[in-house]
Amino acid sequence: ESFQQATGLADFYWETTYYQHPYHRRSLQQALAEAEGYLFFMHGWTGSRRIWEKLPIQLAVKNKRLVCFNLDVNGFGNSPFLEETPSAEQCSPAALISAVDHWLRAINLWPAQSAHETQPFYLFIGHSMSGAALFFKDITGWENENYGFYALAPALFCNDSQRRAFFKTMGLVGVNLPPSLNAIKNSLAPHVIEILGNGASPVVKNEHLRIYSQTTFGTIAQVIYALGVSADMPHRTDWSRFRVALGHKDKIVNLANTLDLLEELNFTSDQVKVMLGDHYFFSFGEDSPASHGQNRQCLIDDIQLFCRQLAPKAAKVDQNHYNNEYNVHKV
């Protein structure tokens, strides 16, 4: 109940992914106790935990001491708001990541439990809407934690007045439409999904269409409005914990504007990757550009590298032993 009051969400849904040895099954509690790090995957507007496809599984197989959490956030999927039309404050980028913090507290995953010999790291991976949310995370209470952020095509429009105006107007129109005009919402679906999911796999496109169809128009519109109305620059003195990846022909997130913004925030070149592709440059299917398949592998490698950089030194030694022990029985 306190979670609902703090976030405006009726529920918060997640799935966990972690390695299981064929002959030595582990409970989630055991996997958490043995983990060197937790990865949190957060989707974009009208998405869900399913847009990540097999990415969490691939990472869990490569590093058997990771626990991946696939989240439904910001009113989408199985995490709806209490109200059909939440307030703009409840679904803003800052509110999205704040709700994740409330959830971490509610399930006792943060602050890190003292039972660990070494504290696990937290890596937050967000796409589009959720990528933008990472930039607004409140780090109060995180001073003694090991954590990082990986933003994929973050929908940050602080310095993009054209896109801000577009999203704000679209949101206002949608919020003010009566429920009886659902036909308008449905007629827009194919066009919205085509722009959003250009180059993505059929699985991702179909999931966006499913979520778009089942979500109240109030939520859909208000989240767009919140992205458009948020002109505040993210404020942080240290951006070294961030990595960002962008698509070179993203129709949602303008490449040049985003690079200018990152430069203004004092990001360094080694924190930013530009990949050949669109908004879903990491999703690969039968109609996707060949570069998307390469991007996906590049992203997996980069996340693994980031995990190694975040992992406690003691855990790095243990990881080699752990992987060697189970090397014969990879799934």
Q: How does the average pLDDT of the chain come out, rounded?
A: 90
Best mean pLDDT range from 22-36, 112-126, 302-316: 22-36
Looking at residue 268, its pLDDT comes to 98
Q: Taking 80 as the threshold, does the pLDDT of residue 325 lie above it?
A: no
Looking at residue 323, its pLDDT comes to 46
Looking at residue 282, its pLDDT comes to 97
- Tell me which CATH code domain 2-329 carries: 3.40.50.1820
- Reported as a pLDDT band with limits 50, 70 and 90, residue 119 is confident
Looking at residue 171, its pLDDT comes to 86
Q: Taking 60 as the threshold, does the pLDDT of residue 319 lie above it?
A: no
pLDDT 10s digits, 237-249: 999 999 999 999 9
Model confidence pTM above 0.85: yes
Looking at residue 252, its pLDDT comes to 94
Q: Taking 80 as the threshold, does the pLDDT of residue 1 lie above it?
A: no
What percent of the chain lies above the pLDDT cut of 90? 76
What percent of the chain lies above the pLDDT cut of 70? 90
Looking at residue 31, its pLDDT comes to 95
Angle, helices 217-229 vs 182-196, to 10°: value is 50
Q: Taking 60 as the threshold, does the pLDDT of residue 321 lie above it?
A: no
Looking at residue 328, its pLDDT comes to 30
Q: Taking 70 as the threshold, does the pLDDT of residue 116 lie above it?
A: no
pLDDT 10s digits, 124-153: 999 999 999 999 999 999 998 999 999 999
CB 222 within 8 A of CB 81: no
pLDDT 10s digits, 78-114: 999 999 999 999 999 999 999 999 999 999 999 876 5
Looking at residue 63, its pLDDT comes to 96
Contacts 24+ apart (CB under 8 A), 251-257: 251/195, 251/198, 251/278, 251/279, 252/128, 252/153, 252/155, 252/195, 252/196, 252/279, 253/128, 253/153, 253/154, 253/155, 253/156, 253/279, 254/160, 254/163, 257/157, 257/159, 257/160, 257/163
Tokens 């879903």 -> residue:
280
Q: Taking 50 as the threshold, does the pLDDT of residue 69 lie above it?
A: yes
Domain residue spans of the chain: 2-329
- Reported as a pLDDT band with limits 50, 70 and 90, residue 115 is low
Whether the CA torsion 204, 17, 107, 146 is positive or negative: it is: negative
User: Do strands 146-152 and 66-71 pair parallel, antiparallel, or not at all (unpaired)?
Assistant: unpaired
Burial class (CB in 10 A: 0-12, 13-18, 19+), 242: buried
pLDDT 10s digits, 278-309: 999 999 998 899 999 999 999 999 999 999 99
CA 227, CA 196: separation in Å to the nearest integer? 15
H or E element, residue 37: strand 37-42
- Reported as a pLDDT band with limits 50, 70 and 90, residue 21 is confident
Residue 69, φ and ψ in degrees, nearest 5:
-115, 120
Looking at residue 175, its pLDDT comes to 72
Strand, helix or coil for residue 182: helix
Q: Taking 70 as the threshold, does the pLDDT of residue 181 lie above it?
A: no
Looking at residue 313, its pLDDT comes to 61
Tokens 């799935």 -> residue:
15
Q: Any residues with CB less than 8 A from the CB of 163 and at least 6 apart, and which? A: 157, 228, 254, 257
